[in-house]
Structure 1
């Protein structure tokens, strides 16, 4: 967590530099020295305000998660409250568009997932993000399905989002947002049709 007093101009600069370095050399190669050089600051500034690489990585992920949340909330705000399937599509779309689909962000996500398995604080951020996604989906799905069905489909959609992200991060061509949306919407349509027949 950055210390109080960190100049607002420096935080975005350091976060951007962190993602750029992770994009080039991966998380393990992303040293404080390389990040500070990329940002044009001294290593002392990173250590002072973030306590080192770990603190800077945590702040970088907080920025990425905030951006994801803001994108999804903006998408939902633009839709009527009763347009449940469109709102689900908007939640899915928010995971694959704009900032979230940039190469540097995708590689940072992949590094974060890997690192969070062995780090309590980053793992907590991942769990918060997962719970938020499931909650958003269940709110909309509960108007279309029973609570048990909504829970199952929400987890299915979340798994597809994560799987497409992982495959996209490992693919030299990256994530194809149109294809990602088509795959998940196809799954959703099939689930809604299946449960409607029961």
Structure 2
């Protein structure tokens, strides 16, 4: 007899286990059995809940995006100024949870898989649009739309690049990654202020 209310708990355990397994392997070359074993459930139950490994993988990307979105919303609510909003987003991108070796490796594997999996590509484009929009909401009042666009694109590219370096084991520590992106933004904002004086 199935336990009432266990499905959401087991689904979350399976998506977490998929992220862990992919992160540990550094690729999508994991099996449903391996993921189920990490989650402490049977492979049959994993198939029952998700139907296929591809569905479990896409739901795992959704889970990562949902966690990141929740963290970003909380950070943005606490920000007291436009500039603080930008800093909050950068801090969330490099939080201990988001910038852990396992999660970073999983993100990199998802980006590789997106080249052949339209659903993963779509989800990653949602992430990119959301990051851009959130950065623009803080930067546009400070720099104007055109300059904010350039700064936001550069910041997003730096975040992605620092994730790649972290996955390869050559990236900076979390606080150094934050400082690099903050420096990029502040340099551009200072340049804009200098032109308007």
TM-score by length of 1: 0.90
Q: Which runs of 5+ in 1 are unaligned?
A: none
Aligned equivalents of 2:27 and 2:166: distance in 1?
Answer: 18
Instruction: Report 1:108-147 matches (<5 A).
Output: 108-147=106-145
Residues 38-97 of structure 1: CA deviation (Å, up to 9, x unaligned): 2222222222221211111111111111111111111111122xx111110111110010
**Structure 2 match to 1:26:** 26
Q: Following the alignment from structure 1 to structure 2, what is the Cα–Cα distance between the partners of residues 122 and 141?
A: 28
Q: 1:24 to 1:146 in 2, by over 3 A?
A: closer
Could you report, residue by residue, the CA deviation over 1:92-111 in whole angstroms, capped at 9, with x for unpaired residues?
Answer: 11001032122221111111
Residue-pair matches, total: 191
Compared CA separation, residues 49 and 126, structure 1 to 2 (3 A) = same
| Residue 180 of structure 1: how far off its partner (Å) | 0.8
Task: Give the structure 1 partner of residue 147 of structure 2.
Answer: 149
* Correspondent of 1:162 among 154, 160, 163: 160
Partner of 2:174: 177
Matches of 1:72 and 1:101, distance apart in 2 = 14
Give the deviation of 1:6 after TM superposition: 7.4
Root mean square deviation, CA, Å: 1.7
The answer to whether the 8 Å contact 1:165/1:175 transfers is no
What CA distance in whole angstroms lies between the structure 1 residues aligned with 2:93 and 2:158?
11
Distance (Å, rounded) in 1 between the aligned partners of 2:6 and 2:120: 21
- Aligned mates of 2:193, 2:24 — CA distance in 1: 48
User: 2:145 & 2:30 partners in 1: Cα distance?
Assistant: 44
Which aligned runs of 4 or more in structure 1 are off by greater than 3 angstroms?
none
**Partner of residue 63, structure 1:** 63
2:73 matched to 1:42? no
For normalisation by structure 2, the TM-score amounts to: 0.91
Q: Is the 8 A contact 2:110 2:120 kept in 1?
A: yes
Picking from 186, 193, 196, the partner of 1:196 is 193
Cα distance in 1 for partners of 2:193, 2:98 equals 33
